[in-house]
Amino acid sequence: MADQGRAGQSKYQRIAEELRAAVQAGTYGPGDRLPGENELMAKHGVARMTARQAVGVLQSEGIAEARKGAGVFVRDFRPLRRRSVSRLAQEQWGAGRSVWEAEAEGRELVVDQVAVGEEAASGLIARVLGIEEGAAVCVRSRRFVLDGKPVLLARSSLPAALVAGTAITQEDTGPGGTYARLAEIGQKPVRFREELRCRMPSAAEAEQLELAMGTPVVLVVRSAFAADGRAVEVNEMTLDSASYVLEYDFPA
């Protein structure tokens, strides 16, 4: 049975709450080492597992990160604010800017893994794109790294017949990215739909995003629609939940 604290709250939760408050108060700043398991055990009179669970809570929330052989430190990383409405505005990609530019705010952004190829469309992708299941789709897979931290995995699927011969089939799509290239062939997006859900990452996702144990991911599936109502892209994105603030701004 877990150690219990006040009002039925587990002791590890109480310790995590105390550590979180200390970080928020500035007692421990970015890059500072948090008390280790032995220190927490002695101070709070708890078992090692309880101390470990407490620190693990802060790691799963993205507040702290473990450094092999050194301990656990306050994370020196400012979450990325994803402005889901303004980032997709035509004046952004239509002017040759990446949808990332406004969000990165001058921080170092690198797409360090890019793979482009053709695959057979799965049933879900085929239904959204309005093509036959098994039809060829151009698939673009990327990993985005901000300030040295992997934050996003993205996988875009577009009808291969639609984008054949365009820069969309190349690693570098050019200024404005995929949406600017779609506009050049008369298929610019005029409407987007995003669906969000959360879950724990697969082993491969956790490795690619370098996630601390227990950190969930946010799945964002965005469909882009042309003027005739047809979907021209499905983008499946896996976000490190501790690296993002998701912002939605729209009129009442």
Whether the per-residue pLDDT at 7 is higher than 60: the answer is no
Check residues 105 and 27 and name the one with the higher pLDDT.
27
**Residues 147, 75: contact at Cβ < 8 Å?**
no
**Residue-level pLDDT at 11:** 92
**Residues 52, 41: contact at Cβ < 8 Å?**
no
**Co-location of 35 and 102 in the same domain:** no
**Residue-level pLDDT at 217:** 94
Give the CATH number for residue 63.
1.10.10.10
Asked whether residue 1 is domain-assigned, the answer is no
Over residues 228-252, mean pLDDT? 90
Instruction: Determine the longest span between alpha carbons in the chain, in angstroms.
Output: 68
**Co-location of 217 and 240 in the same domain:** yes
Over residues 159-167, mean pLDDT? 97
227 band by pLDDT with thresholds 50, 70 and 90: very high
Alpha helices in the chain (DSSP H): 11-25, 37-44, 48-60, 90-93, 101-104, 123-129, 160-163, 177-184, 203-209
Range of the structural domain that residue 91 is part of = 80-247
Number of domains making up the chain: 2
The domain boundary, picked from 47, 74, 101, lies at 74
Q: Is the pTM of this model over 0.85?
A: no
pLDDT digits (tens, 9 = 90+) for 107-131: 888 899 999 999 999 999 999 999 9
The fraction of the chain above a pLDDT of 70, given in percent, is: 90
Asked whether residue 100 is domain-assigned, the answer is yes
Whether the per-residue pLDDT at 5 is higher than 60: the answer is no
**Residue-level pLDDT at 90:** 67
Give the CATH number for residue 126.
3.40.1410.10
Check residues 90 and 230 and name the one with the higher pLDDT.
230
Asked whether residue 252 is domain-assigned, the answer is no
Whether the per-residue pLDDT at 2 is higher than 50: the answer is no
Rounded Cα–Cα distance for residues 54 and 138 (Å): 45
**Co-location of 36 and 135 in the same domain:** no
